[in-house]
Amino acid sequence: MKEFLIGLLDWIYKKKCYFCGKSKESVKMCSDCYDSLEFLPAKINRIILKCPVYCAGVYSKTLQKMIRGLKYHGQRDLAYYQAKYMWEYWQRLNIEGDFQIVPVPIYFKRKKKRKYNHMELVAEEFAKFSGYTVNTNCIERIKDTKPQYNLNKTQRLMNLNKAFSAKPEEIIPGKKLLIIDDICTTGSTFEEMIREFNSGKIYDITCFATVTPFED
CB-CB contact of 56 with 210 (8 Å): yes
pLDDT attached to residue 190? 97
Check residue 152 and give its pLDDT.
73
Do both 13 and 63 map to the same domain?
A: no
Which pLDDT does position 6 carry in this prediction?
57
Query: Which pLDDT tens digit goes with each residue over 59-105?
Result: 999 999 999 999 999 999 999 999 999 999 999 999 999 999 999 99
- Total domain count for the chain? 2
| Beta carbons within 10 angstroms of residue 180's beta carbon | 26
CATH number, domain with residue 108: 3.40.50
Nearest residue to 127 via CA among 95, 94, 103, 108: 103
Flag whether pLDDT at 3 surpasses 70.
no
Tell me the C-alpha distance between 108 and 86, whole Å: 26
Rounded distance, CA 8 to CA 172, Å? 40
Q: What is the mean pLDDT of the chain?
A: 91
49 and 74 inside one domain? yes
Q: According to the model, what pLDDT value does residue 13 have?
A: 62
What is the per-residue pLDDT across 149-160, written as a single tens digit (0 to 9) for each?
Answer: 666 777 776 777
Both 13 and 72 in one domain: the answer is: no
pLDDT for position 100: 98
Least Cα distance to 26 among 38, 39, 41, 12 occurs for 12
pLDDT, position 5: 59
Are residue 99 and residue 118 in the same domain, yes or no? yes
Which residues 6+ apart lie within 8 Å of 169 measured at CB?
none
Number of neighbours of residue 37 by Cβ within 10 angstroms: 18
Residue 80, domain extent: 37-212
Residues 132, 186: one domain?
Answer: yes
Which run of H or E residues covers position 103?
strand 99-103
Question: Is the pLDDT score of 9 beyond 70?
Answer: no
42-45 long-range contacts, CB within 8 A, separation 24+: 42/89, 42/92, 42/93, 45/184, 45/209, 45/212, 45/216
**H or E stretch at 212:** strand 205-212
Closest to 103 measured CA to CA, from 204, 179, 185: 179
Q: Looking at residue 161, what is its pLDDT? A: 81
Query: Is residue 28 domain-shared with residue 116, that is, in the same domain?
Result: no
The whole model's pTM is what? 0.90
66/18 Cα distance (integer angstroms): 9
pLDDT of residue 12: 57
